[in-house]
Amino acid sequence: MASVFSAETSAAAPDPGLGADAPLVIALLGPTGSGKTDLAIAIAEALDLAVLSVDSRQIYTDMDIGTAKASAAQRARVRHRLLDLRPPDRPMNLQEFRAEAEAAIVAEHTRRGVAFLVGGSGLYLKAITQGMLPPAVPPQPQLRAQLTALGQAWCHPLLAGVDPLAAGRIAPADAVRTQRALEVIYATGRPLSAQQGFRRPPWRVLELGLNPGDLTQRIRQRSAGLYGAGLVAETQRLLRRYGQACPLLDTIGYGEAKRLLAGELDETTAISLTTQRTLQFAKRQRTWFRRQHRPLWLSGPDQAQGPAKDLTGDRSERAGASGPEPDLVKRALAAVGQALG
């Protein structure tokens, strides 16, 4: 494996508290629309790794276009895991996802000695890479049904009254996480924010980050592209199968498409609102990654300064080209090479 690496960059070192013989987990993180998918496929192809998706919506079946899930062609190039784990009407909590992710990591360590996480769901990444332990509270279907019937406009203020710390970390429109926080309180009598411990994972972690300077433009193009790719038709199929009350169909993109289908919005307004919600989400992601993680930034204003001052490439020379910037791939592979020694 070492032959494909170069040592031309000074990478943020993996956790020094573990020995060099501990297995390595690479985590490629960044806000939505930052180019993680293309870069991940290039890295995975170079190193013969599976892409282990860490995305809180891509774990659900049938939600493909609206979550920008890897296409069939991309999955044919590189193996993907942790996709399509549940139908949208059976929400998966963090503890359940962590168990699935840890099993996938162990399988990749057995196969290649390295596991490769890719995603933008900060809480999920923190649970895996830093060993955050969520409360061991099983799903409460009856309570969830009652909370869904009450509506998110009622549930989030309720959460703010009993667990303001958790409410501050959860977007007002995020019904899935709001319900989970309330579920924990009702089951244990204690706030979710007071029950999260840590257990150090048995692997070293190398975090690589993307934070492109043109993220706003990327998100505008991405939002329009979702509608062009069939988001509205996908939403209509999901509504027929899982019903209007499914909380995941109020998340970014699906919520606006649902309102378009109901005649409340035209397509231009729906795209504009999807863009606005995505930009707000990306801002929260950027804040989370800066405060909760220590990646080697491969692109953007947070990029680590090394011998090469500009590693993002000249986009004007690559107009119309597909795939990640070659220098991003080179820098990422060099960082992994250093981590592996």
The pLDDT of residue 255 is 97
Q: What is the mean pLDDT of the chain?
A: 85
* More reliable by pLDDT, 130 or 104: 104
Angstrom distance (rounded) from CA 46 to CA 132: 31
Residue 65 vs residue 123, higher pLDDT: 65
- In this prediction, residue 137 carries a pLDDT of 72
Nearest to 24 by CA among 47, 55, 53, 41: 47
This prediction's pTM: 0.77
Q: Is the pLDDT of residue 188 over 70?
A: yes
For residue 200, the model assigns a pLDDT of 79
Strand partners for 28: 118, 208
- pLDDT score recorded for residue 202: 87
User: Considering the chain, what percentage of its residues have pLDDT values greater than 90?
Assistant: 58
- Mean local confidence (pLDDT), 138-165: 85
pLDDT digits (tens, 9 = 90+) for 67-98: 999 999 999 999 999 999 999 999 898 889 99
Domains and CATH numbers, the chain: 2-134+198-214+293-340 (3.40.50.300), 141-195 (1.10.20.140)
* 127 Cβ contact list (under 8 Å, min separation 6): 94, 97, 98, 133, 134
Greater confidence, 14 or 264? 264
